[in-house]
Structure 1
Amino acid sequence: MSRLAKSLDVHQLAARNSLNALADSLVAARLNLPNTHPTTPDIHSKKTSRYLVGSVGTGKSMLMDSFHASLNSRAKDLNLPPLSQRIHFLAFMSSIHSQLHEIRSTLPTRDPFQVLASNIIKKAPVLCLDEFQVVDIGDAMVLRRLLETLYSFNPPSESTSRNEHTNPQFSLVTTSNKQIQDLYGKGLNRSVVKPMLSLLESKCETLHLNPGLDYRRTSQSPPSKIQPFIHPQTPTESLTSLRTRFLSNYFQTQTPPPLPSPQNILLPSSRTLPIIHQTPGKSLLLHFTSLCGNAGTLGGADYIHLCKTYPTIHILGPVPRLSRDDTDAHGVKGVDLGRRFINFIDVAYDTHTRIFVESTHTAVETLVGLRPHDDAPVATRVVDAETTVKKEGGASSSGSATYVGIMEWSATGLQDASLSSIGGVGVSETGFAVERALSRVVEMGREGWGRALE
């Protein structure tokens, strides 16, 4: 990562040096060599992981991605298997819930977390996890069990098949907008999460990035001609004119044809999604209510599939200003709409998917109402029980329904309680994520953003 040194600020340089030291230590341990780097901590010491924390746009993901690429490049040069795997938190939790469901179905007598930990470490022992967050009780309980198992996991020796290389131990490198002890700060049943937070603090060296400096907003890259949020250009522009401009962008003609009849597509989650039009491998046109509304029909796994399938996604609205206190025509609370929309933006950003949103206002005006009030209520209720996850249904980050004992719980941890009705972590996390989403939308509006069409 030395090639980045000239462009890094003092906080990024310190974080990079710590990540380089960790990489040296990991490679030495993998080769069963003594640690010869005077500034590199021994890999068997407690601080075998890194937690990059800072406000939006401070370079956390850039540093983690550079570490991930550098570590695997070194492993390849040494004829080692990949040491690092990189994934966004939402995609990770979606995969974890799906795998747990499959393991419990096919291996009912095995400890599913032991099987899961073994699968993760065999793929690559260093997990680079972008945008670590703890929002709902299902994810919280699963994360606690999983991290405890990963950090204590002892894989069987494979030295005879790997040229006497020692088996690697688990290491986490993750980014977050929140300090470890602030995770799930207003969440229900927080006693379930506290042991995991203590574990993270014991294993992770926290690397602080420059607060308040958003490099995405200060980038010199020129903006593209068409921005992600397409909204009225003047106070008097009609919604009819807005719709014409929006569809002209999608159909790439100044006289767009009438909207075709809606069609349904079947997602891998077995959910049926109504869309308006698609060009396979290129673009998708669908309505905002189909994407984020309808009482949370879609989950994180669906957003991941859509973004990986379509390099460009057009969202028909017009999306109004979203407020945590409002309810849409279908009865969906504003904070729930906002949380799902921000989750979608996160996935689109991570997969370099171009999005275009027909909106009544700018991105800032659309999302600013999701910030929590100072008097947002905090609900508390203590539950400490085993969690199981059902693949279908639910509105958690994974789109899975959570069970505590035999009782189905919502993503909030309370029966029949939406995020907005109780406040707490759902409201605070959504409000906190607004700045991240707005920062990412700025970068997504830069010239050249997005991946090549197939």
Structure 2
Amino acid sequence: MDLRAHVSSSGYVLDDAQLDAVARLEELAARRRGVYLHGPVGRGKSFLADALFDVLPEPKKRVHFHAFFQELHRLISARLRQRGAVAKAVKELVGRAEVLAFDELHVHDVGDAMLLTRLLEELQDRAVMIIATSNFPPDGLLPDPLYHDHFLPGIALVKKLMDPVELNGAQDYRHLHGAPRSRFETGRIVTRTDLPRTPVTLDVNGRAITALGTEGTTVWFGFGDLCERPTSTQDYLVLARRFDDWVITGVPRLGTCHRETRQRFANVVDVLVDADVRLTLVSDHPLSDVLDGEVRDLVRTASRLELINTTG
């Protein structure tokens, strides 16, 4: 396995921090040791994790953390009264894979934290090599001090099954682009926009979510309906498959919102980036004010929103 040659064949020139990480990843892969690649946004974590996954032998499986957890929840719910429901769900999802790659692993919900602990226990029993990327070091997962202690057994498993590798170069490569490279990057931040006349009620995962309107594959939401009510990441995943052009109106200064509201908004942005959905934000405030204040875990969200085209 020559990870460096594989990366070089992509045409990218690696910086010193990335070269150091590649050397470490090669050493861990040779021992079939799990990898937890973490660091600030835009440093190339997903790129290097994907390259490592590419050079590892089959059987292997690459999944996005949000989508995987949505399906895991669904399968467990379908077997709720069965003994060993979690083990059976993991077996169905992972199959024969000996390598499982997670992109964007982050935990902010105590329920998901408990389920992640069970998932890691099952993967340990199956001797699956795990590759994960995250903006947080292991000890920074589930950062809310009200719940962090509940996830200490899960953090211990993360450290047991994976070696942390920090990627912390000086350059944020997300900010070096010229023309938009994705549909998401064609989005906008505006102060006003035309709105549909008739609100609609959308059936999502058996629950009703109010939208300001829809037209083809475009959907309009009020910030309050989408983020201040108890919606979930699973809801956003379903909606992102249904609509590829989102408009969210009335976006406030997030520092004035409850923690749960801010986290829902961050989850919306994560899902739309991954699904490559165009996002238009309508706000009376510039992006710098929207993201200003003592807000937890909006560094990644800020970096992603700075990719979209801003207009008045």
- The normalised TM-score by structure 1 is 0.61
User: 1:148, CA displacement in angstroms?
Assistant: 1.2
User: 1:200, CA displacement in angstroms?
Assistant: 1.7
Give the structure 1 partner of residue 261 of structure 2: 337
- Coordinate RMSD, CA, aligned: 2.7
Give the structure 2 partner of residue 205 of structure 1: 163
Secondary structure of 2:219's aligned partner: strand
CA contact (8 A) 1:137 1:188 kept: no
Within the alignment, does 1:309 sit opposite 2:286 as a pair?
no
CA contact (8 A) 1:214 1:439 kept: no
Structure 1 residues 342, 189: CA separation in 2 closer, same or farther (over 3 Å shift)?
closer
CA contact (8 A) 2:180 2:186 kept: no
CA contact (8 A) 2:187 2:278 kept: no
Give the structure 1 partner of residue 84 of structure 2: 111
Within the alignment, does 1:439 sit opposite 2:303 as a pair?
yes
Give the structure 2 partner of residue 228 of structure 1: 188
Structure 1 residues 195, 293: CA separation in 2 closer, same or farther (over 3 Å shift)?
closer
Give the structure 2 partner of residue 237 of structure 1: none
User: 1:119, CA displacement in angstroms?
Assistant: 1.8
Give the structure 2 partner of residue 254 of structure 1: none
The answer to which structure has the higher helix fraction is 2
Give the structure 2 partner of residue 274 of structure 1: 210
Give the structure 1 partner of residue 3 of structure 2: none
User: 1:137, CA displacement in angstroms?
Assistant: 2.0
Give the structure 2 partner of residue 262 of structure 1: 199
Give the structure 2 partner of residue 288 of structure 1: 223
User: 1:52, CA displacement in angstroms?
Assistant: 0.6
Within the alignment, does 1:58 sit opposite 2:67 as a pair?
no
Distance in 1 (CA, whole Å) between partners of 2:147 and 2:198 is 46
Aligned counterpart for 1:93 among listed residues 69, 75, 89? 69
Aligned counterpart for 1:84 among listed residues 61, 64, 89? 61
Aligned counterpart for 1:134 among listed residues 73, 91, 107? 107
Which amino acid in structure 2 is aligned with residue 103 of structure 1?
Answer: R
Within the alignment, does 1:214 sit opposite 2:220 as a pair?
no
Secondary structure of 2:270's aligned partner: helix
Query: Unpaired runs of 5+ in structure 2?
Result: 1-5
Give the structure 2 partner of residue 251 of structure 1: none
Distance in 1 (CA, whole Å) between partners of 2:121 and 2:272 is 30
Secondary structure of 1:274's aligned partner: strand
User: 1:142, CA displacement in angstroms?
Assistant: 1.4
User: 1:291, CA displacement in angstroms?
Assistant: 1.4
Give the structure 2 partner of residue 183 of structure 1: 141
Aligned counterpart for 2:78 among listed residues 102, 105, 112? 102
Aligned counterpart for 2:274 among listed residues 350, 365, 372? 350
Per-residue CA deviations over 1:179-209 (Å, capped at 9, x if unaligned) read 1123234433544422322222122122211
CA contact (8 A) 1:55 1:212 kept: no
Aligned counterpart for 1:361 among listed residues 285, 289, 293? 285
In the alignment of these two chains, the number of paired residues is 302
Structure 1 residues 10, 305: CA separation in 2 closer, same or farther (over 3 Å shift)?
same
Distance in 2 (CA, whole Å) between partners of 1:271 and 1:65 is 36
Give the structure 2 partner of residue 15 of structure 1: 21
CA contact (8 A) 1:216 1:442 kept: no
Which amino acid in structure 2 is aligned with residue 65 of structure 1?
Answer: D
Secondary structure of 2:271's aligned partner: helix
Larger CA Rg, structure 1 vs 2: 1
CA contact (8 A) 2:196 2:214 kept: no
CA contact (8 A) 1:117 1:146 kept: yes
Distance in 2 (CA, whole Å) between partners of 1:136 and 1:143 is 10
Query: Unpaired runs of 5+ in structure 1?
Result: 26-39, 76-81, 154-168, 232-241, 248-257, 327-332, 373-430, 447-454
Give the structure 2 partner of residue 451 of structure 1: none
CA contact (8 A) 1:277 1:284 kept: yes
Distance in 2 (CA, whole Å) between partners of 1:137 and 1:222 is 36
Secondary structure of 2:80's aligned partner: helix
User: 1:127, CA displacement in angstroms?
Assistant: 2.1
CA contact (8 A) 2:15 2:169 kept: no
Structure 1 residues 201, 361: CA separation in 2 closer, same or farther (over 3 Å shift)?
same
Structure 1 residues 21, 291: CA separation in 2 closer, same or farther (over 3 Å shift)?
same
CA contact (8 A) 2:16 2:169 kept: no
Q: Percent identity?
A: 27
